[in-house]
Amino acid sequence: MNIDGKHYRTIWLKEDDSSIVQIIDQRHLPHKFIIENLKSVDDVARAIKDMHVRGAGLIGATAGFGMYIAALNAPKDEIFMPQLAADGELLKATRPTAVNLAWAVDRQLEAIAAVNGGMDAKITKALETAQAIADEDADFCRQIGQHGLSIIEKISKAKNGDVVNILTHCNAGWLAFVDYGSATAPMYAAHDKGIKIHIWVDETRPRNQGARLTAWELGQHGVPHTVIADNVGGHLMQHGLVDLVLTGTDRTTYTGDVGNKIGTYLKALAAHDNGVPFYTALPSSTFDWIMHDGVKEVPIEQRGGEEVKYIQGFHDGEIKEVLLTPEDSPAANYAFDVTPSRLVTGLITERGICDASEEGVLGLYPEKKN
């Protein structure tokens, strides 16, 4: 994706020092563009936990590079693999909901353990695997864009080329992945093809990933959009102002239940009530192939109440936080919810579009049938 005309991914190796991983510290966006160096497993764990990086795909890619850093720094003796396993556990414990995190750590551990050569060969494998996870993430999102484009094209035709209004929640954009994004990839593909679209961007309290990140990246790409408060979507749908709801997900069960940023479920209910199609876009790394009942089983992260009580903004050239609530009021901060499959029109994956059901998902991924 381009920022002021320069192409960026969200994570990469430092050009002149391959022991350093670089990320965009997203806590400062859209006001400041700051690149951060990650040199240790602790740096990586902090970057994920404190949300310098966030979003399912990028959390997975960062964990992949984290395991490469772990391999570089681990003692080069019989402690090597146990140390890597411990570092993997540390990374997995940073955030519970996005399944890409554990998936990337386990993929690395398996790949490194399978190397029979010496330590150098294992480190080389860790680097190759980190890069493969990142490249695959970008490529899968690009393919999601092409599949999702067909849905937008169909609506555009039905509206005789009139603007297609799409509502999205949180940030499932290129900032949540390595490139392109999941929910945004079809939007970018449609916009680049000259299809008229307009995006309603939910602000996404409490951390405002929609208002801060989705609005910023759509703006960088020239996609028409409007930021709305979280509670507006239902009203817009009742008045025919939303043609499609398109979200990402942090963990979707193979039965089609969609875990995503808190508030997604309410949008799905409103979409269902108003006959608006509700699609979720995801690469296969975001499927949970074990959990059957998402509402009961997907672990829902609860973050600190201060994220609800305080709000961040830009003033006088600085990012500041101000108190929003009575100082003593307790606050609860459930970060995700689960939308049951019956409310999901379809899933857009790198292999195509399927029903949000076991039959639909396993039809696209038959190798996952056991």
CA dist., res. 99 & res. 217, Å (int):
24
The reply to whether 50 belongs to the active site is: no
Residue closer to ligand MRU by CB (options 311, 335) is 335
C-alpha distance from residue 351 to each of 174, 179, 226, 250 (Å): 19, 18, 31, 18
Residue closer to ligand MRU by CB (options 122, 337) is 337
> Whole-number minimum distance, CB 24 to ligand MRU, in Å?
14
**How many residues does the structure list for the chain?**
370
> Whole-number minimum distance, CB 176 to ligand MRU, in Å?
4
CA dist., res. 203 & res. 187, Å (int):
18
CA dist., res. 105 & res. 234, Å (int):
39
Amino acid 40 reads: S
H/E element, 354: strand 352-354
Residue closer to ligand MRU by CB (options 165, 204) is 204
> Whole-number minimum distance, CB 177 to ligand MRU, in Å?
7
> Whole-number minimum distance, CB 335 to ligand MRU, in Å?
6
The residue written with tokens 């089983």 in the block is: 297
CA angle in degrees (0–180, nearest 5) for 282-284-289: 115
Residue closer to ligand MRU by CB (options 54, 122) is 54
Q: Give the tokens for residue 50.
A: 């404190």
Catalytic pick among 179, 202, 230, 250: 250
The residues of the shown chain that bind ligand MRU, judged by CB under 6 A, are: 54-57, 170-172, 176, 182, 209, 247-250, 260-261, 335
Active-site residues: which are they? 250
